[in-house]
Structure 1
């Protein structure tokens, strides 16, 4: 009895230990799955170079992502909706299907099975407000089935903006001095012409600096995101009519003979009907023949 009690106790302790290890393993597996899901959810997000409200820095932020989706067309519509919802807009989209393989298999005399293997992909370029970039990238995560690559860049252009503004000021001052010189000292037509050309050059350079600054400010305010979407190769099978093989629709020999007999009978009926229409001529000819024979005998 003592041996049995010890054996039962040992088995009970062993069972409890095994159950605890199994529960711990399940918890670890669940934790790893949750971590993986969280990683996928934030895999496209980025807090890089986020501007603070009181900061003097100006960042031009761009993002390039390549990822696999379950359905390119549906994901494209979802992405366009997300971008519009956050105040952005799409500047380029190239949705296309590329045929990788095409086969035709004749399954019957009048039917062909077409098998087409193709892939669908799309390249999208979109602009979103700089403050909404991280939110948009996070929202895109639910469309990602497999992330191939993610490249996010942030270029600080604060000094370049300041340099452009200072250059514009210098050009404006130089232009004003030239205009004053023309008004006060310009007497000869050649001198006036040369001075006017210099003023025009200064104005052109000033305008170019203004345009550069506007372009930089636009890039700062709206981030540019380039997406490349693709999906698994799709196989489409379709049963189509075989237009090339018309011999399959020829009637069998018995039906051809029956059609020939009917055609011949119809021709005979036509001949009889045509001859019947000439009864008057036949009657006149018969009477003439009889009269001729009688006169000949006399």
Structure 2
């Protein structure tokens, strides 16, 4: 009996031991593939190429790019020396004389500074300035209150300038190329070379005719004759001298126009805003106006004086009021008599 119990106890112990061994083997077989997969993943990760480092953000990179694009666009809009070139300003001919003129309109950064620079260039080329007009044209104007009796005025204005210079005719091209650096944008330009050889010849012939006429009149006066004829000859000689002088002056003016070209330059700059602080008069009046009770007392006083004035005006009509009172009493008395007669008849 006891032996059977011992055998049964050993059997249960063996079964428990076998079960524990089976569970341990199953756990080992389960963790082995996971370990192998983890090892394989580690190997693949080590064999893979390293990821490129993330680019470090540069502060203001996009802003710098936009600024560069704007600068390139401005450079493309800026005029070049080729745009200020024309054969009308450089062509020469030994047999012909040209009167050269040029006009240009362009935008500059600062009208006052550019006008002075143009004057310096003209002096460097042996020329001179004949006109320099600068003015500011005001556009839209807006005003806004700032408080404390102040008013902010914003005004848009554009500065424009008109500069006229004269430079030696052979330096016209050099002058125009020298002022290109002052231009931000070229609106228009115009060159003209007028052939003046025939006009110059006409002036020379007129001068020669005047000289010959004066000589002939001088000879006629020297020959003598009647007093009346001498007086006519002297007057004619005076007219001939005047015509000679006019012809000489016209010839010199013409030669000067040929020797020096005339350039008309119109300058302007981009619109700007003028900010001005002004006194808000309405706000100051409102701040310094009397209080409510003071204004109420003033209104009552004005009303009282108005009523008194009305009575004074009504008193001026006393004859009318007297006539009205008399008419009232007459009517009342007549009305009483009429009623009394009606009662007696009844």
Give the 3-state SS of the residue equivalent to 2:225 in structure 1.
coil
Asked if 1:222 corresponds to 2:260, the answer is yes
Alignment of 1:14-163 (within 5 A): 40-48=80-88, 50=90, 52=92, 55-163=94-202
Give distance in 2, aligned partners of 1:227 and 1:39. Answer: 15
Higher Rg: 2
Q: With CA pairs under 8 Å and 6+ residues apart, which has the higher RCO, 1 or 2?
A: 1
Asked if 1:182 corresponds to 2:208, the answer is no
Give distance in 2, aligned partners of 1:96 and 1:49. Answer: 30
Give distance in 2, aligned partners of 1:197 and 1:170. Answer: 17
Shift of 1:174: 2.1
Give the 3-state SS of the residue equivalent to 1:174 in structure 2.
helix
- Aligned partner (choices 225, 231, 248) of residue 210 of structure 1: 248
Match in the other structure for 2:324:
none
CA RMSD, Structure 1 to Structure 2 (Å)? 2.7
> Which TM-score applies when normalising by structure 2?
0.58
Shift of 1:47: 3.2
Give the 3-state SS of the residue equivalent to 2:80 in structure 1.
helix
Match in the other structure for 1:198:
236
Give distance in 1, aligned partners of 2:268 and 2:78. Answer: 22
Give distance in 1, aligned partners of 2:162 and 2:89. Answer: 25
Q: Is contact 2:89-2:172 (8 Å) kept?
A: no
Closer/same/farther in 2, CA of residues 51 and 200 from structure 1, 3 Å limit: farther
C-alpha offsets along residues 180-206 of structure 1, whole Å, 9 cap, x if unaligned? 12212x321111011112211211111
Closer/same/farther in 2, CA of residues 243 and 140 from structure 1, 3 Å limit: same
Closer/same/farther in 2, CA of residues 197 and 51 from structure 1, 3 Å limit: farther
Structure 2 alignment gaps of length 5 or more = 1-71, 292-346
Q: Is contact 1:101-1:117 (8 Å) kept?
A: yes
Count how many residue pairs are aligned between Structure 1 and Structure 2.
Answer: 219
> Which TM-score applies when normalising by structure 1?
0.66
Comparing 241-250 with 124-133, which one deviates more in the overlay? 241-250
C-alpha offsets along residues 206-233 of structure 1, whole Å, 9 cap, x if unaligned? 1111011100011111111111111221
Comparing 239-248 with 68-77, which one deviates more in the overlay? 239-248
